[in-house]
Structure 1
Amino acid sequence: MDQPQSTSPRRRRLWVDLTALAVVGVLLLGAIAAGGASLYKEYYGPGAFVTRYLDLLAAGRAADALHVPGVAIDRDTLQEAGIEVTASEALLRQAALAPLSEIDVVDEVTTDGVTSVTVSYVAGSHPGTSTFDVTQDGWEGVTPNWRFAHTPLAAISLNVLGSDQFAVNGFELDRRQVSSAGAEAAPLDALPMLVFTPGLYSVTVDTAISTSPGVSVLADSPLTQTPVDLQTKPTEEFLAVVQTRVEEFLTECTTQQVLQPTACPFGLEVQNRIANLPTWTITTQPTVTVEPDGAGWQIPATDAVAHIEVDIRSLFDGSIEHVSEDVPFRVNGTISILPDGSASIRVGSAGA
């Protein structure tokens, strides 16, 4: 007698269980792969390498950031990038760093073994993005090492007019300290200075002579040199000093009992002879202003009035005439800032 063939319930259950285990295994392998990829990207990939560099800057660890592979720079690289080889490293320190936050990797593109990592951030209060080129630098066990294919350093070319002293992000500097020319640094020569990218650099001046609310530049492109020009303005204290010095100079001129005081901006011409020594006074002192003049300052021409008292003897008949006369004149001047920080003020005549 033929018996009907059928699949036992136990076999069906086994098949279902095996199928479920296979599906779970595939899902588990997928999860492990996805987790591994995520772990690699977060901790071991080129984006993670760049993020660690930015985290060092955000923490103010400038010295450690300089030791990140590929950050250090040589003269040949500077020259090829068009950056002055004498660029100062004075700003590559914690005291010159501005706050850096909200760091996020937004893109990674690999071409010919070089990965371009684009990051967004907030430098100070300014949002920005920068792209860094990263290449693999061997292995450490089963994880890759990375280095910057091109240094993330850049430079600013700073030109501060009206002051040798200035501050960058509150870090005080002197032109003669950072210039390769030292004490011989010319006031109009730009100062090339290396900086980290990304970074916000705010240049301000606050001295007894000059002041400026400052100018800020966001260094966001590696191996570029950005010009930064800052024109200061005279302080109220400096203006008061210049006013006093000019008044003292003109008052000193009045002590010369001659018709044409030597090296002074006023005088009187007569055709006859004087019968006594003339007496000068300043009846209206000039109201002095100070304006920028290249790396120094100038006193623009301004009006003033002197007064002379003198007796004039006529060459024709010997008669004497008393002259009491106001003599208008114009005065100007130049101001140079000396190496010790003092001001040399030269007063001249701007013509009547």
Structure 2
Amino acid sequence: MDITLLTIVGVLLMGALAATAGALYAQFYSPSAFVGRYLAMLGEGRAADALDVPGVMVSSVDLEDAGLPATASDALLRPAALAGLTEVAVVSEEMQDGVAKVTVSYRAGAYPGTTTFRVERNGWIGVAPAWRFAQSPLAVIDLTVHGSMQFTVNGFELDKRQVSAAGAEADPAAAVPMLVFSPGVYSVSVDTAMSATPGVAVLSDSPQAGIPIELQAQPTEEFVGVVQERVDQFLAECATQQVLQPAGCPFGYTVRNRLDQLPVWSIAQSPVVTVEPDGAGWRIPVTEAVAHIDVDIKSLFDGTVYPVSEDVPFRFTGSITVLPDGTASIVVSGEQ
């Protein structure tokens, strides 16, 4: 009976130890636990720790092999650009050809999502297996912002010239590739004195995926007001020229006789300026206004002098180029 009892106790102890070992493995040493620790780091905003997880960081060669831009910036791989990650739960774990496929569900900000990670063996920690990502969980946002060199991602402010491989020579209309963590939600918006947009949010839920985003900023009221002021100043300066065809100006007057005195111009009806996106810059669409001329004309036929006081309607357009220092160059031209 003693031997039987000892045997039973031994079996129970072995079972308890096996169950404990299994629980410890599942909680700390399994592929699911490995993925869970990575997601916990993202949820806590520990970007640097997440990047140190084996298999997360990628080289330019890795990006090229995945069909992604090799020059993708790492500017968003920091705590300031991370959004909340909550309600993380392992959905399944499947081992196939030495690679574990771990599927998890979560909520990234306000968006629910599901992602499958590929995990492989990476040596041992004592008697327990260690793991690494067989495929990096990083992805690439390919961002094109029209109408602004500055933008924000999850409230983190960036400039195209900071993250583009071309640096200060960055093409304002070109896409900017940026590495991001998966999973994660990234809200892109523009809010400058010149332009703004309500923004767009995307969910990065696939490792080593390319995520194209195109955003068109709209001119702010402040910017339109500045353009209106500059155009009014330009037309007022045109009106100071005492010639029939003011140089570089969108209005003029033609006579077949001789002038008895220099003409006097004024702006009878100021234009109401609007601003529209135009590729990497802006433009003033065809706009109407009215100038007024006062001049005395002397007839070539009989020498009679008669006064002319006449409204001169005209139309103009304008191009607006944003300069590297953030100022705008406005060029107004006449429209027939």
- Classify the TM-score, shorter chain: over 0.9
Matched residue SS, 1:312? strand
CA distance in 2, matches of 1:27, 1:291: 78
- Aligned counterpart, 1:3: none
- Aligned counterpart, 1:41: 26
- Aligned counterpart, 2:311: 326
CA distance in 2, matches of 1:117, 1:191: 31
Once the two structures are superposed, residues 193-230 of structure 1 have per-residue CA deviations (whole angstroms, 9 ceiling, x without a partner) of 01111111111111111111211111111111111111
Give the CA deviation at 1:28: 5.5
> Is residue 267 from structure 1 mapped to residue 249 from structure 2 by the alignment?
no
Matched residue SS, 2:64? helix
> Is residue 132 from structure 1 mapped to residue 117 from structure 2 by the alignment?
yes
CA distance in 2, matches of 1:144, 1:266: 81
CA distance in 2, matches of 1:331, 1:286: 9
- Aligned counterpart, 1:5: none
- Aligned counterpart, 2:291: 306
TM-score normalised by structure 2 residue count: 0.96
CA distance in 2, matches of 1:32, 1:162: 64
Out of 158, 178, 183, which is 2:168 matched to? 183
CA distance in 1, matches of 2:29, 2:166: 44
CA distance in 2, matches of 1:196, 1:307: 62
Matched residue SS, 1:127? strand
- Aligned counterpart, 1:167: 152
TM-score normalised by structure 1 residue count: 0.92
* Mapping 1:2-151, distance limit 5 Å: 14=1, 18=4, 29-151=14-136
**AA matched with 1:94:** P
User: Does the aligned pair in 2 maintain the 1:286–1:331 contact within 8 Å?
Assistant: no
Out of 158, 164, 182, which is 2:143 matched to? 158
Once the two structures are superposed, residues 149-186 of structure 1 have per-residue CA deviations (whole angstroms, 9 ceiling, x without a partner) of 01111100111111111111111111111111111001
- Aligned counterpart, 2:208: 223
CA distance in 1, matches of 2:13, 2:285: 82
CA distance in 2, matches of 1:306, 1:27: 102
Once the two structures are superposed, residues 114-152 of structure 1 have per-residue CA deviations (whole angstroms, 9 ceiling, x without a partner) of 011111111111110111100011111111000000111
- Aligned counterpart, 1:10: none
Out of 219, 223, 234, which is 1:238 matched to? 223
> Is residue 212 from structure 1 mapped to residue 197 from structure 2 by the alignment?
yes
> Is residue 344 from structure 1 mapped to residue 326 from structure 2 by the alignment?
no
CA distance in 1, matches of 2:278, 2:9: 80
**AA matched with 2:249:** C
**AA matched with 2:69:** E
CA distance in 2, matches of 1:24, 1:314: 129
**AA matched with 1:63:** A
CA distance in 2, matches of 1:50, 1:65: 11
Matched residue SS, 1:223? coil
Give the CA deviation at 1:306: 0.4
**AA matched with 1:118:** T
* Mapping 1:191-206, distance limit 5 Å: 191-206=176-191
CA distance in 2, matches of 1:275, 1:116: 92
Matched residue SS, 1:177? helix
**AA matched with 1:236:** E
CA distance in 1, matches of 2:313, 2:16: 93
CA distance in 1, matches of 2:239, 2:272: 18
Q: Which runs of 5+ in 2 are unaligned?
A: none
Segment of structure 1 superposing worse, 270-279 or 87-96: 270-279
Give the CA deviation at 1:348: 1.2
Given the superposition, is the C-alpha separation of residues 118 and 316 from structure 1 closer, same or farther in structure 2, using an over 3 Å criterion?
same
Matched residue SS, 1:71? coil
Matched residue SS, 2:188? strand
Once the two structures are superposed, residues 45-68 of structure 1 have per-residue CA deviations (whole angstroms, 9 ceiling, x without a partner) of 000000101111111111111110
Give the CA deviation at 1:331: 1.8
CA distance in 2, matches of 1:129, 1:269: 72
- Aligned counterpart, 2:267: 282
Out of 213, 219, 240, which is 1:255 matched to? 240
CA distance in 2, matches of 1:318, 1:116: 99
Q: Which runs of 5+ in 1 are unaligned?
A: 1-13
